[in-house]
Each structure stands twice: as structure tokens, then as C-alpha cells.
């Protein structure tokens, strides 16, 4: 199991890589067969190639991330962060929950946000 420190560092690396426009660095944090559901309730994306394409598109749209508080760990294999996504003309307040494997890679990302969490 990944340590709480490792999981928190991965999430910070995720935010930093996103804001630096590095979709490849973000996808490298994921396991090869990882699943991304953003937002929860939409069809999930599976595999690094699909995940990298998702982040490439998000970054190309001008999105930037800012943490709303400290990254949270757990007694298990998950960590979470509350953050704001600023996109030109829109703001989304979200919570991402990441699940990790024994190698410290993200195996699942669940983004929790809905229509009430969008500001225009």
C-alpha cells in the first residue's frame, strides 16, 4: 500500500503538472489500466492513452487548478483533494478521490462535482 505521504505528493505533482501544461506527466502518475471518471456518473475513461488525451484537452481549454485546502490522505489506499478549476468563462468546484496500487500509481480517479458546483 502507498504511504499517505506518497499519495499526497502524487496529488501535488498532479496539480503542478496540470498547471504547467504537462499532460504526459499527469498520465505518468496513473497505472496503465487506470480508470478516470470525471465527473462521477459519466462514462469512465480507461487506460493511459485515453487519460492523457483527457488532460491534453483540458489543458488546451485553458483550465487551471487551485487547491481549496490541504490534500487529504487516508488509512487506506486513497487520497483526496478539494480544488477549483478555473476555465475561461467558468469555474468548477470539485473534489477528486484517487485510489492507488501497491506501486504508488493511481488506479482510479473519481471527480465529484455536479451542476450546482459550476459558476459562470
Q: Which of 14, 55, 96, 110 is catalytic?
A: 14
The shares of helix, strand and coil residues in the chain, as percent rounded to the nearest 5, are 30, 40, 30
Structural element, H or E, at residue 110: strand 106-112
Question: Which are the contacts of 59, defined by CB distance < 8 A and separation ≥ 6?
Answer: 18, 21, 23
Identify whether 96 is a catalytic site residue: no
Identify whether 38 is a catalytic site residue: yes
Structural element, H or E, at residue 16: helix 4-19
Q: Which of 22, 30, 33, 38 is catalytic?
A: 38
Task: Enumerate the active-site residues.
Answer: 14, 38
Amino acid at each position: 500500500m502507498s504511504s499517505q505521504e506518497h499519495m499526497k505528493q502524487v496529488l501535488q505533482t498532479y496539480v503542478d503538472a496540470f498547471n504547467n501544461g504537462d499532460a504526459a506527466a499527469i498520465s505518468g502518475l496513473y497505472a496503465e489500466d487506470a480508470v478516470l471518471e470525471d465527473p462521477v456518473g459519466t462514462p469512465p475513461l480507461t487506460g493511459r492513452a485515453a487519460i492523457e488525451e483527457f488532460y491534453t484537452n483540458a489543458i488546451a481549454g485553458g483550465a487551471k487548478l487551485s487547491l481549496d485546502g490541504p490534500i487529504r490522505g487516508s488509512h487506506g489506499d486513497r487520497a483526496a483533494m478539494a480544488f477549483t478549476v478555473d476555465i475561461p468563462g467558468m469555474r468548477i468546484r470539485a473534489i477528486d478521490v484517487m485510489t492507488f496500487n501497491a506501486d504508488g500509481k493511481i488506479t482510479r480517479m473519481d471527480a465529484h462535482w455536479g451542476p450546482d458546483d459550476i459558476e459562470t
